[in-house]
């Protein structure tokens, strides 16, 4: 098990370097951070040169990247061009997005698994077909459409919930944004659970469990669910990273000042240190989530543990 | 992971197996699937919707002869009226005309990005799966790198520095981040196909590499790629709209549902209709492609039912 | 027309009596009639071998007896299954569940897929005691170790926490056997218990099964397509074709003098050392399509003896007699020309 963890960690390193370098490349090599700093004005050549030197922008790209990574590992994500420390922006915004993500994941787990089990146990019947069609419809509606429609209906038309979120973003105000953020993943979770349940219902070992004379609830919980939920758990685990990165659209709709908001502002203003810093953290979160999922998988499935 | 990969995972295992049912008749996969599909109302319906969408993407003037860029501020936010069934948006543009003309951008981006990603992904993935070795390992690592970047985030960063607002950078970006998904599928199904007894047999009989690849492996590996690509087409259309909505994808004067939804969103309280029509058209388009892919997947892998 | 009808009155009721059982599968391609009026009996301590090609309905019959038919698409549409005198088909689901595992148990063909991959074998064995006997987890584990020792798994104590994939094929099948034996049932149904094993291991597992059956004095239904396995273990044989029993006989009678052309075909297709060098016999044609079973005798399209009457009249299961008319105990054949077949050669 220990060796497995180490091997997975080592495999993460090139992926981490590659992904962050790719982002770094896009921002610093394809864009021009200094020109962006001056907005529409023509930059004064002397000032521009000084800034370039300060930010190591006159060095080759790989040196800039190494320098940047070196600083990151010392906890220094640099300063946004407007003078804010990037770490300070992170300190404010990450808890909010984390909260939003957890609300979404909770909804995903409860509703997605319940719906999936419900329809998987009724495979081929009308309810199952309707649930499947419904999930496809949900998947097909982009988040920004469902977000605005739900915000309009529930927040404005019927006034059930507050249509926007206050700066502190308490959990009760995050319920609707959480639903919006979770919606697509929810549909996937439902489909995955349903398929997994439906496949395992036909498995030989389940027939054995019935032949052993176990009561139905025991057959379902101990044998069917225990096996069927393994892929679902891993999907949800990976999804945490993806949801945090994807929260940008939801945060924009509900005006939540989380990671997506900061990142969006950074991109609009071409604030390179903010963008690269936030994306780097998100990539790390994404990779760590994947690692945890792999470990969880090994815990849940002995065939992998002893492989 | 998403819908398409989930679908493909199950497909990889054996789309090539001819089914033998209780009647004892072995049937070929494709003829069986074709038979199932024509009887499947979901497939027929989504195929018809897609045909219609392609038609209006090519000839929008045939059903919406107006100019989508001709707007009259005096008519801003007016509701449905004779000759203008969907009313006017905040700039006084005809919503019906813009919704019809918006299909072109979505379909173009979807089709081109899918074609690009499918071609690149299946060639790279197929070769990696067929030859294995260091090339396979390297490709998997590169694919991992692209997987490490969330789609929307990557799109924001990439497209905010390539600020043209035209269709091709968007297509290019989607191909760039989309190919690894296809390549994994293609690699997986080639590896599975390679291990089949009949391929081993052909090899033992001295068939050459190219011949094995073209005659034996390709026909079997292609099914999951087609399914995944169809579903991906839908999600790429949604991605383009999302990026345009965020202001980094397509930009005016290009007519795009994402742009229209974005500008309508600020007026949702006064004029919800301006949001609902392009949003409905977008969702229906995505739905049609996803349903089509789903139906094909079901037909190719009936044990999932 | 079942074997049971020829049983003489006054004897005690058999352990299991299946009568006129009918099972069909309702699929999108039509209704497949998998079992069409099957009947057999098993006494305590007796071994019945059910023989047939795949699709003959031998496994489906067993699943119906156990009550583990996949439904939908499978439905029992008629007949009786009397177990210790009580009809299982009229019992409530809960009553039936209590019988399963405790009074009748089943051994499946592929132990790797039939054991739950994510639970330890100890947990899967112990579960029987926890559910049916209300034992604690700890007591159940002790019992699991005892069972594993009983089926001669080496180092049972150390291995009780291992998972199915960590055992060899033969050991896994022993665990399946242990699970079936756990509550000392009256009847065991073994569905092709050795088919998935290496030939060398097959004999060991079969011997173990036969030995334990003797020790516990259980009834055993052995479902197989392998005539070689049957000869050593079984007391009597029922041959199935297209969801019906076409011949029944005490085991040695059947080998010596089959009374049905299908049985003859099966016997002739066994490779034999003494006939080395000759071409091996194969029954021509394919097993019938169960959604459209041939009229008359279902075997007629493949039968070397088929005549016009075979195409029109479905032969009932006749008692088989010697030339002089004396009944041969336990023998019956569903062939119009059983007499010719019996006395052929």
DSSP C238-295: EEEETTEEEEEEEHHHHHH--SSHHHHHHHHTS--GGGTTSPPP---S-PPPTTSPPS
Q: What is the distance in angstroms between the Cα of C59 and the nearest Cα belonging to chain A?
A: 13
Which pLDDT band, with edges at 50, 70 and 90, does B82 fall under? low
What pLDDT is attached to residue A5? 78
pLDDT at A12 over 50: yes
The pLDDT tens digits of the residues spanning B209-263 come to: 777 777 777 777 788 888 888 888 988 998 988 888 888 888 878 888 888 888 8
Domain with CATH 3.40.50.300 in chain C: 3-234
Q: Would the CB atoms of A142 and B141 count as touching at under 8 Å?
A: no
Question: Subunits that touch chain C (at least 3 Cβ pairs < 8 angstroms)?
Answer: A, B
Q: What is the mean pLDDT of residues C247-258?
A: 86
Distance CA B17, CA B29 (A): 7
Q: What does the alpha-carbon distance between residue C96 and residue C87 come to, in Å, rounded to a whole number?
A: 10
In this structure, what token pair is assigned to residue A258? 């989380």
Subunits next to B (3 or more Cβ pairs <8 Å) are: A, C
- In this structure, are residues A223 and A206 in contact, taking their beta carbons and an 8 Å threshold? yes
pLDDT in tens, A207-227: 999 999 899 999 998 999 988
Helix (H, G, I), strand (E, B) or coil at C30: strand
Residue B195: which pLDDT band, with cuts at 50, 70 and 90?
A: confident
Which of A17-21, A51-55, B19-23 has the largest mean confidence? A17-21
The answer, for B49 touching chain A at a CB cutoff of 8 Å, is: no
Q: What does pLDDT average to over chain A?
A: 83
Cβ–Cβ of B6/A192 closer than 8 Å? yes
Across the range C172-180, mean pLDDT stands at 90
**pLDDT of residue C167 exceeding 60:** yes
Q: Which chains touch A (3 or more CB pairs under 8 A)?
A: B, C
Model confidence over B159-171: pLDDT tens digits?
A: 877 767 778 888 9
Q: Is C70's Cβ below 8 Å from some Cβ in A?
A: yes
**Is B21 at the interface with chain C, CB within 8 A?**
yes
Higher-pLDDT residue of C64 and C287 is C64
A198 Cβ under 8 Å from any chain B Cβ: yes
Using an 8 Å Cβ cutoff, are C17 and C80 in contact? yes
Residue A226: DSSP 8-state: H
Give the tens place of pLDDT for each residue, A193-206.
998 998 888 889 99
| Residue B24 pLDDT level (bands cut at 50, 70, 90) | very low
pLDDT score, position B302: 53
C-alpha–C-alpha distance, residues B14 and B300, integer Å:
9
Per the listing, tokens 């999936």 go with A116
When CB atoms are compared, the residue of C102, C117, C131 closest to A303 is: C117
Q: Is the pLDDT of residue C9 over 50?
A: no
- C295 against B200, higher pLDDT: C295
**Residue A103 reports pLDDT greater than 90:** yes
- Residue C61 has a pLDDT of 92
DSSP-derived letter for residue C100 is B
For A212, the closest of C70, C72, C100 (CB atoms) is: C100
- Tokens 């896009």 belong to A26
The answer to whether C221 touches C62, Cβ cutoff 8 Å, is: yes
C282 has pLDDT over 70: yes
Please identify among residues 274-293 of chain A the ones whose CB lies closer than 8 Å to any CB of chain B: 275, 279, 282-283, 286-287
Mean pLDDT score, A133-148: 88
- Chain A: give the shortest CA distance to residue C163, in Å: 7
**CB atoms B23 and C29 under 8 Å:** yes
- The torsion region of residue C242 among left (phi > 0), alpha (psi -120 to 50) and beta comes to left
Using CB atoms within 10 Å of the CB of residue C194, give its burial: 0 to 12 exposed, 13 to 18 middle, 19+ buried: buried
Give the integer Cα–Cα distance in Å for C297 and C279. 28
Which phi and psi (to 5°) does residue B163 adopt? -95, 25
Q: Does B241 touch chain A (CB under 8 A)?
A: yes
Q: Is B22 close to C290, i.e. CB distance below 8 A?
A: yes
CATH code, C3-234: 3.40.50.300
User: Which is more confidently placed, B166 or C190?
Assistant: C190
B303 vs A237: which has the higher pLDDT? A237
Domain B29-304 class in CATH: mainly alpha
More reliable by pLDDT, B30 or B96? B96
Residue C33's pLDDT band (cuts 50, 70, 90)? confident
Is the confidence at residue C292, as pLDDT, over 80? yes
In chain A, domain spans: 2-73, 93-300
Please give the C-alpha separations between residue B219 and each of B14, B25, C54, C159, in angstroms, as whole numbers: 12, 22, 31, 46
Question: How much is the pLDDT for B301?
Answer: 67
Kindly list the domain boundaries of chain B, sorted by start residue: 29-304
Whether A61 has a pLDDT exceeding 90, the answer reads no
Q: What is the pTM of this model?
A: 0.81
Q: Specify the pLDDT at position A42.
A: 64
Residues in chain A: 307
Closest-CA residue of A relative to B287 is A140
Model pLDDT for residues A36-55, shown as the tens digit of each residue: 666 556 667 777 777 777 66
Exposure pattern of C271-285 as b/e (b: 16+ CB <10 Å)? Answer: eeeeeeeeeeeebee
Contacting residues of A for B152, CB less than 8 Å apart: 245-246, 248-249
CATH of domain A93-300: 1.10.3720.10
User: pLDDT at residue C281 above 50?
Assistant: yes
Confidence of residue A107 (pLDDT cuts 50, 70, 90): very high
Share of chain B above pLDDT 70, in %: 84
What ipTM is given for this predicted complex? Answer: 0.85
With a pLDDT cut of 70, the percent of chain A lying above it is: 92
As a whole number of angstroms, the distance between CA B246 and CA B152 comes to 10
Contact partners, residue B301, CB within 8 Å, separation at least 6: B10, B11, B15
């Amino acid at each position: 098990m220990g060796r497995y963890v180490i091997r997975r960690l080592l495999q993460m390193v090139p992926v981490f370097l590659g992904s962050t370098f790719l982002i770094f490349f896009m921002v610093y090599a394809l864009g021009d951070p200094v020109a962006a700093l001056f907005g529409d004005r023509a930059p004064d050549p002397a000032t521009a040169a000084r800034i370039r030197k300060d930010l190591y922008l006159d060095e080759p790209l790989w040196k800039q990247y190494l320098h940047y990574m070196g600083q990151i590992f010392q906890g220094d994500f640099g300063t946004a061009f407007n003078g804010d420390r990037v770490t300070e922006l992170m300190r404010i915004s990450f808890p909010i997005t984390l909260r939003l993500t957890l609300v979404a994941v909770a909804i995903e787990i409860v509703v997605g698994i319940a719906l999936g089990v419900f329809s998987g146990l009724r495979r081929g019947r009308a309810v199952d077909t309707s649930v499947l069609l419904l999930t496809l419809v949900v998947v097909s509606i982009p988040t920004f459409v469902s977000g605005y429609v739900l915000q309009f209906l529930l927040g404005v038309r019927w006034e059930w919930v507050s249509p926007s979120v206050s700066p502190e973003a308490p959990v009760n105000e995050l319920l609707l944004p959480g639903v919006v953020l979770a919606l697509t993943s929810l549909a996937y979770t439902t489909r995955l659970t349903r398929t997994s349940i439906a496949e395992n219902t036909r498995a030989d070992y389940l027939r054995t469990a019935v032949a052993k004379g176990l009561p139905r609830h025991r057959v379902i919980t101990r044998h069917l669910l225990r096996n069927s939920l393994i892929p679902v758990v891993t999907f949800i685990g990976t999804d945490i990273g993806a949801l945090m990165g994807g929260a940008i659209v939801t945060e924009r709709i509900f005006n939540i000042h989380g990671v997506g908001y900061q990142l969006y502002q950074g991109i609009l203003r071409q604030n390179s240190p903010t963008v690269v810093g936030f994306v780097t953290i998100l990539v790390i979160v994404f990779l760590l989530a994947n690692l945890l999922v792999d470990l969880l998988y090994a815990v849940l499935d002995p065939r992998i543990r002893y492989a | 992971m998403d819908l398409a990969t989930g679908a493909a995972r199950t497909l990889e295992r054996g789309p090539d197996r001819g089914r033998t049912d209780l009647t004892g008749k072995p049937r070929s996969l494709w003829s069986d699937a074709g038979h199932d599909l024509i009887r499947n109302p979901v497939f027929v319906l989504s195929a018809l919707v897609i045909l219609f969408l392609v038609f209006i993407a090519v000839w929008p003037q045939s059903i919406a002869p107006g100019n989508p860029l001709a707007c009259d501020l005096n008519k801003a936010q007016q509701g449905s009226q004779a000759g203008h069934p969907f009313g006017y948006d905040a700039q006084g543009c005809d919503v019906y005309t813009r919704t019809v003309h918006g299909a072109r951008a979505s379909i173009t981006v979807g089709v081109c990005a899918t074609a690009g990603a499918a071609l690149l992904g299946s060639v790279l993935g197929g070769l990696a799966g067929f030859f294995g070795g260091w090339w396979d390992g390297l490709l998997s690592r590169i694919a991992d790198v692209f997987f490490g970047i969330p789609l929307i985030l990557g799109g924001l960063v990439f497209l905010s520095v390539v600020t043209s607002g035209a269709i091709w950078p968007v297509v290019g970006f989607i191909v760039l981040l989309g190919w690894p998904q296809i390549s994994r599928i293609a690699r997986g199904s080639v590896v599975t196909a390679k291990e089949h007894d009949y391929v081993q047999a052909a090899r033992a009989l001295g068939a050459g590499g190219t011949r094995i690849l073209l005659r034996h492996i390709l026909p079997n590996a292609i099914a999951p790629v087609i399914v995944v690509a169809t579903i991906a087409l839908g999600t790429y259309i949604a991605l383009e709209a999302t990026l345009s909505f965020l202001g980094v994808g397509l930009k005016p004067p290009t007519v795009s549902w994402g742009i229209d939804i974005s500008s309508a969103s600020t007026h949702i309280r006064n004029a919800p209709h301006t949001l609902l029509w392009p949003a409905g058209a977008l969702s229906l388009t995505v739905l049609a492609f996803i349903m089509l892919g789903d139906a094909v997947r079901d037909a190719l892998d009936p044990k999932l039912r | 027309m079942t074997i049971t009808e020829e049983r003489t009155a006054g004897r005690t009721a058999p352990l299991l009596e299946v009568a006129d059982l009918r099972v069909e599968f309702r699929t999108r391609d039509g209704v497949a009639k998998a079992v069409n009026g099957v009947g057999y009996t098993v006494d305590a301590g007796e071994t019945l071998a059910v023989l047939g090609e795949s699709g003959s309905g031998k496994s489906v019959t067993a699943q119906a007896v156990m009550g583990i038919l996949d439904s939908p698409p499978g439905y029992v549409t008629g007949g009786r299954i009397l177990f210790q005198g009580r009809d299982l088909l009229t019992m409530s689901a809960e009553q039936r569940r209590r019988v399963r595992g405790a009074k009748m148990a089943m051994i499946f063909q592929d132990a790797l897929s039939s054991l739950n991959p994510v639970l330890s074998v100890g947990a899967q064995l112990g579960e029987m005691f926890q559910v049916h006997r209300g034992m604690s987890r700890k007591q159940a584990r002790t019992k699991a170790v005892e069972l594993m020792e009983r089926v001669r798994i080496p180092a049972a104590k150390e291995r009780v926490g291992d998972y199915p994939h960590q055992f060899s094929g033969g050991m896994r099948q022993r665990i399946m056997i242990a699970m079936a034996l756990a509550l000392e049932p009256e009847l065991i149904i073994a569905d092709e218990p050795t088919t998935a094993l290496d030939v060398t291991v097959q004999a060991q597992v079969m011997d173990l099964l036969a030995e334990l059956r003797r020790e516990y004095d259980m009834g055993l239904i052995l479902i197989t397509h392998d005539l070689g396995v049957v000869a050593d273990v079984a007391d009597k044989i029922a041959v199935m074709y297209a969801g019906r029993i076409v011949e029944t006989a005490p085991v040695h009678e059947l080998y010596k003098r089959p009374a049905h052309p299908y049985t003859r075909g099966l016997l002739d297709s066994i490779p034999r050392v003494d006939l080395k060098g000759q071409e091996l016999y194969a029954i021509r044609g394919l097993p019938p399509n169960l959604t459209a079973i041939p009229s008359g005798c279902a075997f007629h399209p493949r039968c070397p003896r088929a005549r016009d009457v075979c195409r029109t009249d479905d032969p009932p299961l006749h008692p088989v007699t010697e030339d002089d008319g004396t009944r041969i105990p336990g023998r019956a054949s569903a062939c119009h020309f059983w007499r010719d077949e019996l006395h052929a050669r």
